[in-house]
Amino acid sequence: MTKFSGSLMGLGNPLLDISADVGQEILDKYDLKMDNAILAEEKHLPIYKELVDNYSPQYIAGGATQNSIRVAQWIMTANGKPGQCAYMGCIGNDAFGRQLEECAAADGVCVHYMKDESTPTGTCAVLVKGGERSLIANLAAANNFKPSHLETAESKAIYESASVYYIAGFFLTVSVDSLKIVAEHALANNKTFCLNLSAPFIIDFFGDQVATALEYADYLFCNESEAAAYAKKHNLGDDLKEVALKIAASPKKNASKPRTVIFTQGSSSTIVACDGKVEEFAVTPLPKEQLVDTNGAGDAFVGGFLAGLLEGKDVGSCVEAGHWAARFIIQQSGCTLTKACEYKF
């Protein structure tokens, strides 16, 4: 296992992405929309075998939080700081799980997975069409993470030595109690807790869990569709800059530091709100012919931003690192780190 010297810890749903370029017919067959993420229902379960049998897919280490942690460590390594990032989640004791472990280790992340002996490692079907993607997650073992894993000596050593924590909203469907253990530790020790809303369905169907987690969040990330879904649910209006300000000002457990809210908008400007002020940061557009796959763009942005936080940079520098990481990832298939990072703070 990679040695963890303690800075950033992620907690989430480790999934092996099964990624393939597809046509409209398979999207129609399974009633899927582009640029969307859902949990697999019974009707979606045959899609995984169909991709394997008919589409020559790529297998890529995935899961939103794990992607962000891998990108953050990739950047930290480039800046002379290996072993800064750790990650926990639940996998099965199987080949896919071992593939996830190997990938994380290759990226320099200290993983301390809980292992479920009776449930397979979770998978995510990634359907790519015209550079956009549709995600269908079958959580399997990832759904079985338990707070008891955080009570082990190794887990405690990891989360007690970290200073920044990141959890994507997808984990809210799995174990809010586990999230609260980490968030309460961050609160008690004045450490930094970061949350992502992750997908409109999280906001629409797991509202109580979102409300619980949001009170702990020092940094909140989401994209424009998630921001719009949150605004609609809470009657915050249509102006995303105003929405960001309102979320930043909403109740917060650690009143000693203001909440920073970050809305990404693809190739449009990133919105950042904090302490009654809102800023926009332009994104350098990528020529369409260089776009390969938007899967992982948001995760990569967060990874770059978190690396900036670990380096003690201001919010503008954190956003710049996030934009750079997202730009790199959308030129790859999935969230794959195909070469040494060239980003220096």
Q: Is 299 a catalytic residue?
A: yes
Q: Could you tell me which of 160, 133, 111, 135 has the C-alpha nearest to residue 12?
A: 111
Does the pLDDT at position 171 exceed 90? yes
Query: 53-93: per-residue pLDDT in tens?
Result: 999 998 988 899 999 999 999 999 999 999 999 999 999 99
Answer whether 15's CB lies under 8 Å from 299's CB. Answer: no
Q: For residues 233 and 289, what is the distance between their CA atoms, to the nearest angstrom?
A: 37
Does the pLDDT at position 169 exceed 80? yes
pTM: predicted TM-score of the whole model, two decimal places: 0.94
Q: Could you tell me which of 265, 284, 219, 243 has the C-alpha nearest to residue 68?
A: 219
Query: 232-289: per-residue pLDDT in tens?
Result: 999 999 999 999 999 999 999 999 999 999 999 999 999 999 999 999 999 998 999 9
Answer whether 146's CB lies under 8 Å from 178's CB. Answer: yes
- Average pLDDT along the chain: 95
Quote the distance between the C-alpha of residue 259 and its chain's center.
Answer: 19
Q: Which of the following is catalytic: 17, 177, 299, 314?
A: 299
Given the structure tokens 């075998």, which residue do they identify? 49
